[in-house]
Chains A and B, each alone.
Chain A
Amino acid sequence: MEVFLQQLINGITLGSIYGLIAIGYTMVFGIIGMVNFAHGDVFMVAAFVALVAFLILTTWLGISSIAVALFIVLIVAMLFTSLVNWIIERLAYRPLRGSFRLAPLISAIGMSIFLSNFVQVSQGPRNKAIPPMVQGDFVLVTHNDYAVTLSFKQLIIWGVTAVLLVCFWYLVAKTRLGRAQRACEQDQRMAALVGVNVDQTISLTFVIAAALAAVAGTMYLMYYGVVSFSDGFVPGVKAFTAAVLGGIGSLPGAVIGGLLIGLIETMWSAYFSIDYKDVAAFSVLAITLIFLPQGLFGRPDVEKV
């Protein structure tokens, strides 16, 4: 029971990170119908930007307050990652809009290879480890010498994710931009006819996706304290799994899917085999797509002649 409770806490933490990345997949798929394969690597780039920003703040500027540092790192990572994703969309995806379906996917795979190798070449192939940013934890329950703990960093991840999701929900549901996005999702040509700037809306979608991935990247760096150039691929595929599980195109689905994937992964590692934890996530992906292709909250895909 204690193990289960602990794994629940760990799983929700991991799931929050996956959920934040999954929103990026689901938004981009919803609006232009492409699997943005490079999104996982955008997340990895964000973690590196956060790493550099954190080092500048702590070693050069000597900021000792972790809360201030973390806040600034978060903002810097969001800004730079948004810029990166905006440029990627302009260069690699926009010229291919309206081309045949595979073209943007191939371009995105190329971009994914480019980004991970760019980071490898510019920052070196080794793992980058930083001293723990946040330490300490609450002991929730102790039973037979097994203490169930909730660490401060897990609490921060939960808090930041919750706050961001509320902001994000407000953005999509209540603002002009959100309405334009939903309009483009339904019918781009019609949206353009009634005065929505489709190109700009799509660009902003990529920017928002990147900003959320940047938060996930910063949280990942804070949680694990280590990042390497190859860390984008597997979390990327898992977050995509989360998006599919929740029903691609559905925003609450992405978050819930993320939490589910995080839970499945930690429970699997705890009770079965940690070596095969990626197999668990990939199997969930395959099983969902085969038996429930519309996901938990998605609209069924109707086949038309």
Chain B
Amino acid sequence: MTEGAANQRIDTVAALRDAAITTLLAFGLFLPLIGFHTVTNIRNELELDTRWPLLFSIVAVVGVARLAYSFLLAPWLERIKLRPMATTTPAWRATFGKWFVPFCIGFVIVYPAIIIAATGFGGALKWVDNFGIQILIYVMLGWGLNIVVGLAGLLDLGYVAFYAVGAYAYALLAKEFGFSFWILLPLAGVMSSFWGILLGFPVLRLRGDYLAIVTLAFGEIIRIVLVNWVDVTNGYAGISGIPRPSFFGIPFNANDDGFAATFGLEFSPIYRTIFLYYLILALALLTAFVTVRLRRLPVGRAWEALREDEIACRSLGINTTHTKLTAFGMGAMFAGFAGSFFAARQGFISPESFTFLESATILAIVVLGGMGSQIGVAIAAIAMIGGTEIMRELDFLKQIFGESFDPTQYRMLLFGFAMVIIMVLRPRGLISTRAPSVFLKEPKPVPVDLVKQGHG
């Protein structure tokens, strides 16, 4: 310990100097946009306000944080580095790993029951809707995009376009022709898949960042068309009054032939929410199941081979065109399912729901979770979407920061910040091992450094 302590002697002067520099930089950084506030006055002219107390408190917090880093965090990190690495995984982790997935699936299945037991019918609505359905939609989208990005290694920044195609396909066909949700769900998937292949064709030759930017451009083009093609899509105003899915033909309403009356229950909106919850859960699990199975089929192996080395793939006679297009089509299909579910759940869609920010969010979930890792993607979706949803609930912060404080407006701010921080700390994502799809005697986890990513 004494030896270690000698190595870790903290250089107080250097720490203070660092803190001073950081404080100065923070002051420079925040002076124009936090120190001054532009407000529009009654005559509609722009005026300046100053916010010195806010500026100085933020700068002080940054300075103190830097000091705390030098004195507390940095020595601790050093000590962790010195500690010998465990070479064998302890037994509890193997057991934990084995039971983790079944436990999670069991938990999500009984989740609505737990919530109803805990909060009653009235309070459960919010928890099942915001924290259940909302998160599961993103889990499903993440798993869908995982096929394209994680398995095939094709970086797609316009994934939300296929989600939009699914949503609009359901909304328009259900409203115009009165088809039911169950007919349109596969149809929406087929349509999205078709668009996925259509947009996949021209970009076959591109790779890496370029592919990302072109898919971004396609995603934006589809959104702009949705905004401007007012005759069909109703533009910014969106489509409202989209038919809701029924329980095998029994609608969720208060009428005599409604769900509650048929089963002799008292009418409550919670039934539909719970039905939707299990619907999206089934769709998400379907996505995961299909992906797991596809990885063992020739096409899945071809995807992963393509991610590792395209030239080697071609030399071995793999048809890269087919391989890429199936990945695009398959990923887009699940986005289409999710899209039609989204339209059915909301009852209203507009282009606002399909901005680039959504694509970036889904891609962030896939990358932060550790590309290719299904569990990682699910955890990242829960952390990112659940985290931003929780921001809505933090009313107690009003007591600290005053009544005008609105935590929801900091949601995306923290979301962006979290993306940067997680990338800096864990660039390979939360789950950093991959389950191999081919093995000799027993599966051993593959360290993620051996997996090439994002080259496709």
Task: Determine the chain A residues whose CB is within 8 A of the CB of B419 once the complex forms.
Answer: 106-107, 109-110, 113-114
A230 CB → nearest B CB, Å = 10
Q: Is the CB of A106 within 8 A of B424?
A: no
Q: Is B410 an interface residue (CB 8 A)?
A: yes
Q: Is B38 an interface residue (CB 8 A)?
A: yes
Partner of A113, one of B225, B360, B453: B360
Task: Determine the chain B residues whose CB is within 8 A of the CB of A53 once the complex forms.
Answer: 32
Task: Determine the chain A residues whose CB is within 8 A of the CB of B205 once the complex forms.
Answer: 290, 293
Q: Is the CB of B424 within 8 A of A290?
A: no
Q: Is the CB of B46 within 8 A of A91?
A: no
B40, B367, B415, B419 interface centre (most CB from chain A within 10 Å) = B419
Task: Determine the chain A residues whose CB is within 8 A of the CB of B203 once the complex forms.
Answer: 286, 289-290
Task: Determine the chain B residues whose CB is within 8 A of the CB of A283 once the complex forms.
Answer: 217, 221
Q: Is B454 an interface residue (CB 8 A)?
A: yes
Q: Is the CB of A48 within 8 A of B33?
A: yes
Report the number of A-B residue pairs with Cβ-Cβ less than 8 Å.
Answer: 183
B28 CB → nearest A CB, Å = 5
B314 CB → nearest A CB, Å = 11
Q: Is A100 an interface residue (CB 8 A)?
A: yes
Q: Is B356 an interface residue (CB 8 A)?
A: yes
Q: Is the CB of B28 within 8 A of A96?
A: no
* Measured CA separation A121–B452 after assembly (Å): 38
Q: Is A158 an interface residue (CB 8 A)?
A: no
B158 CB → nearest A CB, Å = 10
Q: Take A80-B28, A119-B33 as given contacts and tell me if A102 and B214 are in contact as well, using a CB distance cutoff of 8 Å.
A: no
Q: Is the CB of A114 within 8 A of B28?
A: no
Which of A3-11, A138-146, A163-171, A272-280 contacts the other chain?
A272-280
A81 CB → nearest B CB, Å = 9
Q: Is the CB of B155 within 8 A of A102?
A: yes
Q: Is A177 an interface residue (CB 8 A)?
A: no
Q: Take A83-B28, A99-B427, A102-B155 as given contacts and tell me if A285 and B217 are in contact as well, using a CB distance cutoff of 8 Å.
A: yes
Interface residues of B (CB under 8 A from A): 25, 28-29, 31-34, 36-40, 45-48, 155, 202-203, 205-206, 208-210, 212-214, 216-218, 220-221, 224-225, 227-228, 311, 356-357, 360, 363-364, 367-368, 371, 409-410, 412-413, 415-420, 423-424, 427-428, 452-455
* Measured CA separation A96–B206 after assembly (Å): 24
Partner of B209, one of A35, A55, A286: A35
Task: Determine the chain A residues whose CB is within 8 A of the CB of B428 once the complex forms.
Answer: 100
Closest partner residue, chain A, to B225 (CB atom): A279
Residues of A within 8 A of B (CB-CB), count: 67
Task: Determine the chain B residues whose CB is within 8 A of the CB of A35 once the complex forms.
Answer: 209, 212-213
Q: Is the CB of A282 within 8 A of B221?
A: yes
Enumerate A149-165 residues with CB–CB distance to B below 8 Å: none
Q: Is A233 an interface residue (CB 8 A)?
A: yes
Q: Is the CB of A106 within 8 A of B202?
A: no
B319 CB → nearest A CB, Å = 18
B32, B39, B209, B225 interface centre (most CB from chain A within 10 Å) = B32
Q: Is the CB of A289 within 8 A of B214?
A: yes
Closest partner residue, chain A, to B199 (CB atom): A286
Task: Determine the chain A residues whose CB is within 8 A of the CB of B218 once the complex forms.
Answer: 282, 286
Q: Is the CB of B213 within 8 A of A289?
A: yes
Closest partner residue, chain B, to A84 (CB atom): B29
Q: Is the CB of B367 within 8 A of A106?
A: yes
Task: Determine the chain A residues whose CB is within 8 A of the CB of B25 once the complex forms.
Answer: 83, 87
Q: Is the CB of B32 within 8 A of A244?
A: no
Task: Determine the chain B residues whose CB is within 8 A of the CB of A105 once the complex forms.
Answer: 155, 209, 212
Q: Is the CB of B214 within 8 A of A285?
A: yes
Q: Take A59-B47, A106-B423 as given contacts and tell me if A52 and B228 are in contact as well, using a CB distance cutoff of 8 Å.
A: no
Enumerate A257-290 residues with CB–CB distance to B below 8 Å: 275-276, 278-279, 282-283, 285-286, 289-290
